[in-house]
Structure formats: structure tokens, C-alpha cells
């Protein structure tokens, strides 16, 4: 089929020469598109679970974008969570206090079985974060047994009594969370000692292999990674969970939707710093583990604006800027797929950079949700190397690369290219040779909006939404693409 296009390209604009090789690289692990849910504010209670029931509207929305993985119950909450309080008849479950987030009552009505039911409904894998700060190895051991043991034991019997005959076979187990901070204020030396004992009791039951994920560094604390890699063997540690948040330069509600280009630039600069953080951790890991057996996991990431204190609890609106941050970050993760095999956006609903905001029984999809929708085509596809030199996006005498890209080939041979232009004013013209790529059918989708502060509300739900993108044309074996200012585009080539 030939393409009929009506694009008129700007004259005189210097075009970017971009080439994509068909030498496929590593698989982009679908778990890079993972999410995170914590007992914090309205994330779990209200966002995912309301009036004692799992929210079917939210489940349907998450299924649509193929969420592959969900991490729970924290976050800082995990190191004060005792899983046995959250199983069995709801009325008999003890009440607890959420000491991390606002000292609110935790009635434990959403516990292990409810979480695993939620994952089953979404069709995603669970990732449980075990309590190292105030828990014991025995507590973790019994949790793994409850979830994963198929034979006869007190824990497997308890699971069956609670209504789940078959083992859940939970594969991913986090051993502590931010153990350098809210999870116990440990030194790397203390943490490694704890880790070894907990990892030992995180058992592999027949037919239910586990992957043990260590609590990793706070952002650029490279010494933490160095110490873990030099003291724990890959037999006992399958991943290291680094946390890196984007500082938006503001902490009030208004900062989420009312900001100028200075804050826009700062947030994008901080977000793109993920590339440096990832490279530096990878360089350390490569020295100890050149075979890349241990995964680099970014198990908390996203832009932070909201205030953590009541009544806000990190609730924040989500703008086109945040979508550009998500898209650029996911391009970084895709391009490092040989080492990054999981990442979890913080957090899935109503907290920080959410996919979904809820109010009572209604929900709205954020611009970030649309990025995950656009990028789902990369899940488990093979990475394709991209080369180009980005023009600068300049502001106040400082510069950032205006364009970032990743590409992959899926199991059907279709190629997907995700292109981001963070420049809020200037479009970019791209020339791309098609010789190595399929090009019979080329289609595209775009996410953009007139202002980078644009966002979706319960009144105007579709202010920022996906649209068909057709600002490209085939000129013999060159594809010319006109990438609008502040936009995310995904092209499909078949």
C-alpha cells in the first residue's frame, strides 16, 4: 500500500539524520513497563480497592495498556508491614497504624490474597517487597511458603483455607526497601549482612523459582552498588533495585500544572539525568558481573511534586511535561535493555506520577498513561540500535538534547520507533533511511497538546490524548518525519 501524505516540510530547517540498524540487540524485558503500588494516601485504598472491592474500571484500563508487573506493598510501608495481619477473614484481621504515611489506620482489608487477585485480574506478575526493617527471616520465609508451596504445610494449608488451592508462584521478591533510609537506616555493611540471611530463607519451592532483588542505591550512591556487587554473589542476588526520582523544583499542588519554562527545563534536565545514573551503576556492575546475570532494576522512578504530608499524601496532577519525562525515561530503559530488566513507575494510582487518578467511583487517565499505551509495543521486542546526533534544546544559557529515540522489532517483524521532542517551541525534521527496515505499511500515533502544562481532569478528561500521526512521507528509501514541539510519536513500520 502506498502512503498518501499531505505534509509540507519547513524549508531551511536542518534535518536530523537518523539511522536504525536491523542488527537486533537484547530483548526489551516487558517488566521495564512495571508499576508500583503502596499503602500511601489513596493509592491502594480508593485507587485500586474501594468499598472492599477491587476496582474493575481501573483493572480494565490497566489491562488495556498491558501492565506486565506490579510491586507491592511498598515502599517505606513494606518495612513495617506484617503480612499475616492481612490474610484470612477480613473482619478478624487486626488493625494496625501506618507509621510511615500519616499514622492513619491500616485495617488490613487489602492483603496478600487481594493483591494477588488484583494481579490475576490485570494479567500481570506480582513483585512482593518483604519486610527487613522490622521483620524477620522467618516472617519472610513463611510468606514465600504461603504464596509458593504446593505441598502440605501449615502455610500452604492457610492459603488453601483462605480460598487459594494452587500456589501463586510469585517469582519476584524484594528484600527490604530503601534500607539506607526509611527501611532501617543501614550502612551497606549492615544491609549486606541482613540481606544474606533473608535471601537464604527466601526459598525456591518445587516449580516456583524466585528472583531475589536487593534494596539498591539511592540515586547516585555508587558506593552502595559497589559494596553489594562485591559482597553478594549472583547466585543469591538476581537484581538490584535503584531508586531515582525526578525533582520538579516545586512541592505544592499548583506546581504540577502551573509552571513556566524554567521549571519545565529543570524537570527535564533532572529526568534525563537517569542516563548518567544508569551508566554509572552499569559500569560498576559490569566489572563484577560481565555476563550481566544481575539485573539493574529501577524499582521506583517518576517526577515528584506532591507534598507527602496529610491531606495530600503525594497526590499530584500529571501534565504533558510528565508524559515527556515518562517517554524519555522509557527510551533510556529500552536502550539499556541488556542490563535493565525491570522498572516500576511510582505510583500506579493517585500518588506521584500516576497512570490513573480517581475521585469516588470515577477515574481519569493521565498523559503518562497514554505514554505507556503508546510504548506497550516495545514489551518483549528486540532492541534495535539507533544512531543520530540530537540538536540542542536551549534555555537560559543551558542545553539539553532535544530529541531522544528508541526502536524495537517485535515477534511479527514489525518495527516500532518511539521519538520524543522535548523542545517546547521548535519542531524537528528527521530523515531516516528505510533500506534496512520494513516499509510497506507505516502508521503513527502522537501525544501532544498546545501547552506543556496541559492535563486531564474529571471535567475535561481528554485534553491530552493520543491522535493519529501522519506528518511523515516516504521519498524513495528515505522517511521524512516532522516531529512537533513537545511531542511523543510512535511509528509502526510493517
Cβ closest to ligand AHR, residue 75 vs residue 391: 75
CB-based closest residue to ligand AHR: 75
Residues from 173 through 192 that contact ligand AHR (CB under 6 A): 177-178
SS3 453: coil
Q: What SS3 string covers 235-281?
A: CCCCEEEEEEEEECCCCCHHHHCCCCHHHHHHHHHHHHCHHHHHHHH
Nearest 5°: the CA angle 365, 371, 376 is: 110
Stretch that binds ligand AHR, among 16-24, 74-82, 138-146, 326-334 (CB under 6 A): 74-82
- Under the binding rule (CB under 6 A), the answer on residue 299 touching ligand AHR is no
Cβ closest to ligand AHR, residue 186 vs residue 417: 186
Least distance between ligand AHR and beta carbon 6 (Å): 46
Residue 300 is a catalytic residue: yes
Cβ closest to ligand AHR, residue 47 vs residue 75: 75
Least distance between ligand AHR and beta carbon 248 (Å): 14
- Under the binding rule (CB under 6 A), the answer on residue 346 touching ligand AHR is yes
β 16-17/428-433 pair status = parallel
Residues from 20 through 49 that contact ligand AHR (CB under 6 A): 38
Instruction: Give me the residues paired with residue 364 across strands.
Output: 357
- Under the binding rule (CB under 6 A), the answer on residue 106 touching ligand AHR is no
The one catalytic residue in 106, 300, 308, 482 is: 300
The one catalytic residue in 106, 139, 178, 211 is: 178
Nearest 5°: the CA angle 314, 244, 73 is: 55
SS3 310: coil
Among 47, 75, 133, 250, binds ligand AHR (CB under 6 A): 75
- Under the binding rule (CB under 6 A), the answer on residue 74 touching ligand AHR is yes
Instruction: Give me the residues paired with residue 19 across strands.
Output: 387
Stretch that binds ligand AHR, among 154-162, 280-288, 346-354, 457-465 (CB under 6 A): 346-354
- In this structure, what is the dihedral angle of CA atoms 453, 454, 456, 461, given to the nearest 10 degrees? 170
- Which of 35, 46, 54 is CA-nearest to residue 113? 54
Residue 114 is a catalytic residue: no
- Under the binding rule (CB under 6 A), the answer on residue 130 touching ligand AHR is no
Least distance between ligand AHR and beta carbon 260 (Å): 26
Stretch that binds ligand AHR, among 70-78, 152-160, 404-412, 430-438 (CB under 6 A): 70-78
The dihedrals phi and psi of 446, each to the nearest 5 degrees, come to -135, 145
Angle of helix 320-335 versus helix 274-288 axis, rounded to 10? 20
Backbone φ/ψ region at 162: left (φ over 0), alpha (ψ -120 to 50), beta = alpha
How many residues sit in the footprint of ligand AHR (CB under 6 A)? 10
Stretch that binds ligand AHR, among 71-79, 198-206, 316-324, 376-384 (CB under 6 A): 71-79
Stretch that binds ligand AHR, among 73-81, 105-113, 389-397, 451-459 (CB under 6 A): 73-81
- Under the binding rule (CB under 6 A), the answer on residue 211 touching ligand AHR is no
Buried residues in 280-316 as b, exposed as e (16+ CB within 10 A): ebbebbeebbeeeebbbbbbbbbbbbbbbeeebbbbb
- Under the binding rule (CB under 6 A), the answer on residue 135 touching ligand AHR is no
Q: Which residues bind ligand AHR (CB under 6 A)?
A: 38, 74-76, 177-178, 300, 346-347, 352
Residues with active-site annotation: 178, 300
Amino acid at each position: 500500500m502506498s502512503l498518501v501524505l499531505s505534509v509540507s516540510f519547513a524549508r531551511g530547517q536542518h534535518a536530523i539524520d537518523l539511522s536504525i540498524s536491523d542488527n537486533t540487540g537484547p530483548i526489551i524485558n516487558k517488566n521495564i513497563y512495571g508499576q508500583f503500588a503502596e499503602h500511601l494516601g489513596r493509592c491502594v485504598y480508593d485507587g485500586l480497592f474501594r468499598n472492599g472491592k477491587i476496582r474493575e474500571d481501573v483493572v480494565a484500563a490497566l489491562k488495556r495498556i498491558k501492565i506486565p508487573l506490579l510491586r507491592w506493598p511498598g515502599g517505606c510501608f513494606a518495612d513495617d508491614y506484617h503480612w499475616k495481619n492481612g490474610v484470612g477473614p477480613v473482619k478478624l484481621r487486626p488493625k494496625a497504624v501506618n507509621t510511615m504515611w500519616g499514622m492513619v489506620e491500616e485495617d488490613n482489608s487489602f492483603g496478600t490474597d487481594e493483591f494477588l487477585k488484583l494481579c490475576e485480574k490485570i494479567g500481570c506478575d506480582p513483585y512482593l517487597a518483604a519486610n527487613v526493617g522490622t521483620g524477620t527471616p522467618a516472617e519472610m520465609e513463611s510468606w514465600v511458603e504461603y504464596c509458593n508451596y504446593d505441598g502440605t504445610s501449615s502455610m500452604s494449608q492457610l492459603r488453601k483455607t483462605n480460598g487459594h488451592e494452587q500456589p501463586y508462584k510469585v517469582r519476584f521478591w524484594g528484600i527490604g526497601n530503601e534500607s539506607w533510609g526509611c527501611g532501617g537506616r543501614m550502612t551497606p555493611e549492615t544491609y549486606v549482612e541482613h540481606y544474606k540471611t533473608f535471601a537464604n530463607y527466601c526459598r525456591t519451592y518445587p516449580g516456583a523459582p524466585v528472583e531475589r532483588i536487593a534494596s539498591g542505591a539511592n540515586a547516585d550512591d555508587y558506593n552502595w552498588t559497589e559494596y553489594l556487587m562485591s559482597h553478594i554473589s549472583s547466585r543469591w542476588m538476581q537484581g538490584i533495585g535503584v531508586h531515582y526520582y525526578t525533582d520538579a523544583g516545586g512541592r505544592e499542588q499548583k506546581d504540577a500544572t502551573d509552571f513556566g519554562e524554567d521549571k519545565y527545563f529543570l524537570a527535564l534536565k533532572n529526568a534525563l539525568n537517569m542516563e548518567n545514573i544508569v551508566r554509572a551503576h552499569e559500569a560498576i556492575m559490569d566489572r563484577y558481573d560481565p555476563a550481566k546475570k544481575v539485573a539493574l532494576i529501577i524499582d521506583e522512578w517518576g517526577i515528584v511534586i506532591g507534598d507527602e504530608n496529610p491531606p495530600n499524601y503525594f497526590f499530584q496532577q500529571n501534565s504533558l511535561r510528565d508524559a515527556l519525562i515518562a517517554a524519555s525515561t522509557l527510551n533510556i530503559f529500552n536502550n539499556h535493555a541488556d542490563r535493565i530488566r525491570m522498572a516500576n513507575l511510582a505510583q500506579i494510582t493517585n500518588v506521584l506520577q500516576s497512570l490513573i487518578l480517581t475521585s469516588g467511583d470515577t477515574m481519569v487517565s493521565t498523559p503518562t498513561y497514554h505514554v505507556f499505551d503508546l510504548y506497550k509495543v516495545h514489551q518483549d521486542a528486540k532492541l534495535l540500535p539507533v544512531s543520530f546526533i540530537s540538536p540542542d534544546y536551549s534555555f537560559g544559557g543551558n542545553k539539553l538534547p532535544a530529541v531522544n529515540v528508541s526502536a524495537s522489532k517485535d515477534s511479527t517483524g514489525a518495527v516500532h520507533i518511539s521519538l520524543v521532542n522535548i523542545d517546547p517551541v521548535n519542531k524537528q525534521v528527521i530523515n531516516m533511511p528505510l533500506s534496512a527496515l520494513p516499509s510497506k505499511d507505516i502508521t503513527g500515533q502522537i501525544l501532544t497538546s498546545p501547552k506543556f502544562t496541559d492535563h486531564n481532569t474529571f471535567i475535561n478528561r481528554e485534553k491530552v490524548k493520543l491522535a493519529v500521526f501522519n506528518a511523515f512521507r516516504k521519498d524513495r528509501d528515505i522517511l521524512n518525519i516532522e516531529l512537533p514541539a513537545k511531542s511523543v510519536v510512535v511509528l509502526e513500520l510493517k
